[in-house]
Amino acid sequence: MVDTARRNSGAEGVDGGVGVTALLVAAARAIETHRDDSLAQDRFAEHFVRAAPASAGWPVRSHQVPGGDTNPLWGRFARYFGLRTKVFDDFLLRSAGAGARQVVLLGAGLDTRAFRLGWPEGCVVFEVDREGVLAFKHEVLAGLSAEPKAARVAVPADLRDDWVTALTGAGFDPSAPSVWLVEGVLFYLPRSAETQLIGLIDRLSAEGSALAYEAKLEEDLAAFRDSSIYTATREQIGIDLIGLFALEQRPDSAGDLAGRGWSTSVHSPFEFTERHGRGPLPEPHDALEGNRWVFADKPRS
């Protein structure tokens, strides 16, 4: 689909680019898992971190983090990923419980929801990502003798190519309700690619389908450079997030979906911090201030 999706999330290209950010999120999920007040549990996450040379020395427990929760990267930023995991877990399970038995994870990366969530009977989880990413994940999970809790279908496809044909060829049925998750992907896509992706999801979604994705306000991208999270991520693990973002005007994808008949809602992550009593709160020069979580439903006639 796009050149910037070439470095899709996951283990492929772990020497730099978006591949390392998938390991960053896995490390954050590992730290969250072992907190006393954990919001989300992912017992597989630390094994991905340890299996990849690029992240083998990263922390996977709070006591391994210099400064603990005061560390901008492994404290506050990691807590953000824990909260995001919880919120999107709840959304997917709620949508599956309402009848969407096809779950599509676009840019699935090191996601293990097929293995750790309690899916309703008959659910199929499609994981769409590059072949190398899925192979790395399969190798690690096979070594743990992990068993999925729903039918799991790996769909090797690059989001810059014809992933739709790959998905439907893997058994996805556009005439049946589905629930989609685009987590930690759109930041890296040019405006045109995001618009195209949203259009394809709409075309493939039957009535009764649902979608969740993460977006970022365009005016926040420049301010991101002054944040402690950006500095800590660059200095502690060598990831330049600004260099990965598509720094151009962002589309109004929620408005686009509403124009196509979807019911949409847009939320700040801080709303969910208040709701759950845990997670990041606003601070000056905040890298998270412009993050938005969007939820959409395609009503039945």
**For residue range 142-177, what is the model confidence (pLDDT) as tens digits?**
999 999 999 999 999 998 889 999 999 999 999 999
Pairing of strands 210-216, 291-297: antiparallel
pLDDT of residue 178: 98
pLDDT of residue 19: 81
Q: Which residues, in sequence order, are CB contacts of 119 under 8 Å at separation 6+? A: 93, 96, 103, 125, 149, 150
Q: Rounded mean pLDDT of 223-249?
A: 87
Q: If 0-12 CB within 10 Å is exposed, 13-18 middle and 19+ buried, where does residue 127 land?
A: buried
pLDDT of residue 17: 46
pLDDT digits (tens, 9 = 90+) for 189-205: 889 999 999 999 999 99
Residue 135 — very low, low, confident or very high, per pLDDT cuts 50/70/90? very high
Q: Rounded mean pLDDT of 82-92?
A: 98
Q: Is the pLDDT of residue 5 over 70?
A: no
C-alpha span between 188 and 13 (Å, rounded): 15
Statement: 3-297 belongs to CATH 3.40.50.10860: no
- Choose the weakest-confidence range: 1-10, 193-202, 257-266, 279-288: 1-10
